[in-house]
Chains A and B, each alone.
Chain A
Amino acid sequence: MSILEVSGLKKIYTTRFGSNKVEALRNVTFSVEEGEYVSIMGESGSGKTTLLNILAALDKPTAGSVKLCQMELTLIKEAAVAAFRRDNLGFVFQDFNLLDTFTLEDNIYLPLVLAGKSYDEMHKRLLPIAKQLGIDDLLKKYPYEVSGGQKQRAAVARALITNPGVILADEPTGALDSRSTDELLQLFSEINKNGQTILMVTHSVKAASHANRILFIRDGEVFHQIYRGGSTNEQLYQKISDTLTLLATGGDRQ
């Protein structure tokens, strides 16, 4: 069963005075099955961020439909969007987006508190996740007191704690050193093995090579996709590099 169905998505930005129109997404169609781990790759300006914003219900498409967890996103009312986002989506951002006024623990609780959960329930949910992510002894610290990798793990915990249908990750390794990157990708693979659907937008070939499927976007369209099949991460890495080279040298779809 697909958890996310995107069809005929189109997004046109109009400049402030309405004279220039920029087509960020032309015609994007794809679907994601439950339990999949999908990477979306593309150059700067290819429309990745726009796509992610629409999937996150932070932006509205000009045309097309997005069905997430059996709900048509474009039809959800403005007031209910925030609650929908809270219940069905988990976010991991490049720059962590942790609130510096909260301890890591409180940062992780934030979506649950907004959903009106009691402390005991939140605490019960947090313990296994914190243990899995290896941040259980950092919970009382403030974001500025821990490393980038630790911050990102807290952000992952915040994304996981609501049991979301999909985790949306926007360049999650972008601000991490290589060791933290390895750890985080390892973590994503583990989470995915436990059945969590992950959708990750990334520039990094290494990050993408951990996914089961890679979508390539160019000029507002899905240009190409690669399935892992039986490949190891290293083989997949090679395949992705080849594809990117092809994309860069301007070859047409094979």
Chain B
Amino acid sequence: MSAGFYPKLALSGIKKNSRLYTPYILTCTGMVLMYYIISALSMSPTVAALRGGDTIMSFLQFGCGVIAVFSLIFLFYTNSFLSRRRKKEFGLYNILGMGKLNIARILFWETVISGGGSIIAGGILGIALSKFAELALINIMHEDINFTLSVSWRSLLNAAGLYCIIFLLIFLNTLRHIHASKPIELLHSENTGEKPPKANWIVGILGAVILGMAYYIAVTIGNPLEALVWFFIAVIMVIIGTYMLFIAGSVLFCRILQKRRRYYYNPRHFVSVSSMVYRMKRNGAGLASICILATMVLVMISATASLYFGEEDALKSRYPMDINFEAQMESIEAMDEANIESMRKEAESICSDYGAIQQNLHDYRRASVAGMIKEGILETDVSVVNEFELMSFNNVYQVYFIPLSDYNRMMNENETLDDGQVLIYTIRRDYDENFLNISGGNSFTVKRHLDSFIGSGSAAMNIIPSMFVIVNNLQTDLEGLIGRTAPNGNDMLNLSWIYEFDTQIEPEQQTLLNNEIHERFRQIQKSEDTLGIRYSYSESLAENRSSFYATFGGLFFLGILLSIVFIFAAVLIIYYKQVSEGYEDESRFEIMQKVGMTRKEIRKSINSQLLTVFFMPLITAGIHLCFAFPIIQKLLMMFSLNNTALFAWTTVISFALFAVLYTIVYKITSNAYFTIVSGAKEE
């Protein structure tokens, strides 16, 4: 035998099965390409030079890991389709006198050709496209940077190494299959009799129950922190439920239809329903995977897109003003008007140095404490609170006490309060009680529930609900809390002076001004007369903008890249499902014709089956998305994003785009299916 015999045989095998091999090689190429791009970006000096580049790079490294794991699972999965179809060929070779060693050599060459080809192609395309990806990333981050075409050899080496290992594993796995089977089995592997699917009531109902519970959790989640705790549990439940439902539930459903004779023995339903049972049994897992992938893509894209498009909103709610200064005070005595006035003077003088004109000034004192409010009683001592209740974060509030005088000054009001009266304003949760009792302290009656109050950056940052309590006098009204220490040794009550304002000067100046304020108060704090400052800091909107862009832009970018990969995967599962079904249905198609079905009837029946099978995952993904909406919305709050309308729109648009894409894929793959099914009969 000449040296080129095996490579030639392998090559012709690939060519003959191009309908199966082309998408496989394309997928491998796509995976290599994606891996290279993400890996190259995660090490790119251009990205490193960006403001917030570190954040982006750590996201991208995470993305690399996701793609590596996903590639391994997914390439194994698609390869199993291939080897199932090829078994017959190998059986024939075996019977014609080839030993298993010879077959292994063919397989080896096949792996070398398909794997090597896709690594090379993926690498080249990756180098070509990584620049576009970099441009896109820079654009998403609103940055402007010069660039040159570069090749990241390290990423290339990583990608080649990783995929070589994956292909090697796939090769070994196929060898294992070939080795374990007998030639005659190989020859007939495609037409082994299939058991009629049994309706599995337990699994089907369990699936529905688990899914229902996950939905219930998602809908009833009260606040972001709970959302964080329950989100992953809900996700896992949805995944398990979806698989169970698709695998068992769909068979169950068809079986119920079959029991209804009127419906079943009808020319329109007879063939569809009975073959659907088989399709479902064989494809339940595949369909569930498509559904999960689709849901993942939709959740990822809609969430990251709304973060990205809502980044200014989020920025504004996190940093309400250009300059946000907070000084934490030593004692309640340091909170008196005179002391605050000297700090105010200090800040104002710095402002006038920079020519800043203060606008939208928030200038107030506040005493804050975290605690649980239950039936109108504020418990600040965590040690007496039931641990389980605390874990559920159900009644936990961040409470801010603000003196009435500061409130009146800021809101331009002349509100008066009697002793023991308070005004209350809450965010993230309503407070319905008409009184508030501090455990171990004063009791208040609520004079009024406020409809609006100033925005607060720290409240926006907090994932738990916030409550603003306007009291007559901090010192007398908070007697019960002042001086108490929390279990961690700090004062229970946090006393601070807030000074936030817009400046009407250039962003660069704002940053300088901010730094000046920051530094000056740090010095005061270290000096002899500390003005009672324990700790102070000043944050500027301008300075934080780029880090917000880096975080949100980076997430959006990664969301897009991963979505592409997952969509790729979903499309491929669909394609292989259709093609393998096509081969199976070929003979069935012929029989039905002989028994007296017209081509048109057959085509119609098949079409309706395809439509049902195809769009079920999409519809289910849509339902998943609807139920995921409230929980994700709560999670987005943690990123200070409160714009529900924006999130709703990005979700709807993502779904619409995805549906269009999906339909196109359906058209393409169902054509491939019909070509296979009718191909044999046409000649």
Query: Which residues of chain A have a CB within 8 Å of any CB of chain B?
Result: 16, 56, 58, 79, 81-83, 85-86, 91, 93, 97-103, 106, 109-111, 113-114, 116, 118-119, 122, 142, 144, 158
Chain B residue, CB-CB nearest to A141 = B196
CB distance from B609 to the nearest CB of A (A): 11
Check if A97 sits within 8 Å of B594, measured CB to CB.
Answer: yes
CB distance from A97 to the nearest CB of B (A): 4
Majority secondary structure of chain B interface residues (helix, strand, loop or mixed): helix
Check if A79 sits within 8 Å of B598, measured CB to CB.
Answer: yes
Query: Which residues of chain B have a CB within 8 Å of any CB of chain A?
Result: 193-196, 261-262, 265-267, 270, 274-275, 277-278, 588, 590-598, 600-601, 683
A109 vs B269: C-alpha distance when bound (angstroms): 13
Top 9 closest pairs, chain A to chain B, by CB: A86-B596, A144-B193, A82-B598, A119-B261, A97-B591, A113-B270, A142-B196, A101-B275, A119-B265
Q: List 23 A-B contacts (CB under 8 A).
A: A56-B594, A58-B594, A79-B598, A82-B596, A82-B598, A83-B596, A83-B598, A86-B596, A97-B591, A98-B591, A100-B193, A101-B274, A101-B278, A102-B274, A106-B270, A106-B274, A109-B265, A111-B595, A114-B270, A114-B595, A114-B596, A122-B265, A144-B194
Chain B residue, CB-CB nearest to A97 = B591
A85 vs B590: C-alpha distance when bound (angstroms): 14
Tell me whether A99 and B596 are in contact in the complex, defined as CB-CB below 8 angstroms, given that A119-B262, A119-B265 are known contacts.
no
Check if B591 sits within 8 Å of A113, measured CB to CB.
Answer: no
A111 vs B596: C-alpha distance when bound (angstroms): 7
A100 vs B274: C-alpha distance when bound (angstroms): 10
**Chain B residues within an 8 Å CB radius of A122:** 265
A113 vs B268: C-alpha distance when bound (angstroms): 9
**Chain A residues within an 8 Å CB radius of B591:** 97-99
CB distance from B268 to the nearest CB of A (A): 10
Q: How many A-B residue pairs have CB under 8 A?
A: 71
Chain A residue, CB-CB nearest to B587 = A97
Check if B193 sits within 8 Å of A99, measured CB to CB.
Answer: no
Check if A110 sits within 8 Å of B270, measured CB to CB.
Answer: yes
Check if A113 sits within 8 Å of B267, measured CB to CB.
Answer: yes
A97 vs B194: C-alpha distance when bound (angstroms): 16
A16 vs B683: C-alpha distance when bound (angstroms): 9
A110 vs B594: C-alpha distance when bound (angstroms): 11
A117 vs B307: C-alpha distance when bound (angstroms): 59
**Chain A residues within an 8 Å CB radius of B194:** 100, 144
Q: Specify which of A56, A114, A142 is in contact with B597 (CB 8 Å cutoff).
A: A114
CB distance from B29 to the nearest CB of A (A): 35
**Chain B residues within an 8 Å CB radius of A102:** 274
CB distance from A101 to the nearest CB of B (A): 5
Chain B residue, CB-CB nearest to A109 = B265
CB distance from A211 to the nearest CB of B (A): 23
A97 vs B587: C-alpha distance when bound (angstroms): 9
**Chain B residues within an 8 Å CB radius of A16:** 683
A172 vs B266: C-alpha distance when bound (angstroms): 29
Beyond A119-B261, A144-B194, 5 extra complex contacts between A and B, CB < 8 Å: A81-B598, A103-B196, A113-B265, A114-B595, A158-B595
Q: Specify which of B274, B278, B595, B600 is in contact with A97 (CB 8 Å cutoff).
A: B595
Residue picked from B265, B266, B274, B275, most chain A C-beta under 10 Å: B265
**Chain A residues within an 8 Å CB radius of B590:** 97
CB distance from B267 to the nearest CB of A (A): 5
Chain A residue, CB-CB nearest to B590 = A97
Check if A99 sits within 8 Å of B592, measured CB to CB.
Answer: yes
Q: Specify which of B193, B267, B600 is in contact with A114 (CB 8 Å cutoff).
A: B267
A76 vs B192: C-alpha distance when bound (angstroms): 39
A99 vs B492: C-alpha distance when bound (angstroms): 77
**Chain A residues within an 8 Å CB radius of B277:** 101
**Chain B residues within an 8 Å CB radius of A110:** 270, 592, 595
A86 vs B601: C-alpha distance when bound (angstroms): 13
CB distance from A228 to the nearest CB of B (A): 30
A106 vs B194: C-alpha distance when bound (angstroms): 17
**Chain A residues within an 8 Å CB radius of B275:** 101
Residue picked from B195, B196, B590, most chain A C-beta under 10 Å: B196
A81 vs B594: C-alpha distance when bound (angstroms): 11
A85 vs B591: C-alpha distance when bound (angstroms): 13
Residue picked from B194, B275, B597, most chain A C-beta under 10 Å: B597
A100 vs B278: C-alpha distance when bound (angstroms): 9
Chain A residue, CB-CB nearest to B683 = A16
Check if A82 sits within 8 Å of B265, measured CB to CB.
Answer: no
Chain A residue, CB-CB nearest to B192 = A144
**Chain B residues within an 8 Å CB radius of A56:** 594
A27 vs B277: C-alpha distance when bound (angstroms): 48
Chain B residue, CB-CB nearest to A116 = B267
Q: Specify which of B266, B267, B588, B683 is in contact with A101 (CB 8 Å cutoff).
A: B588
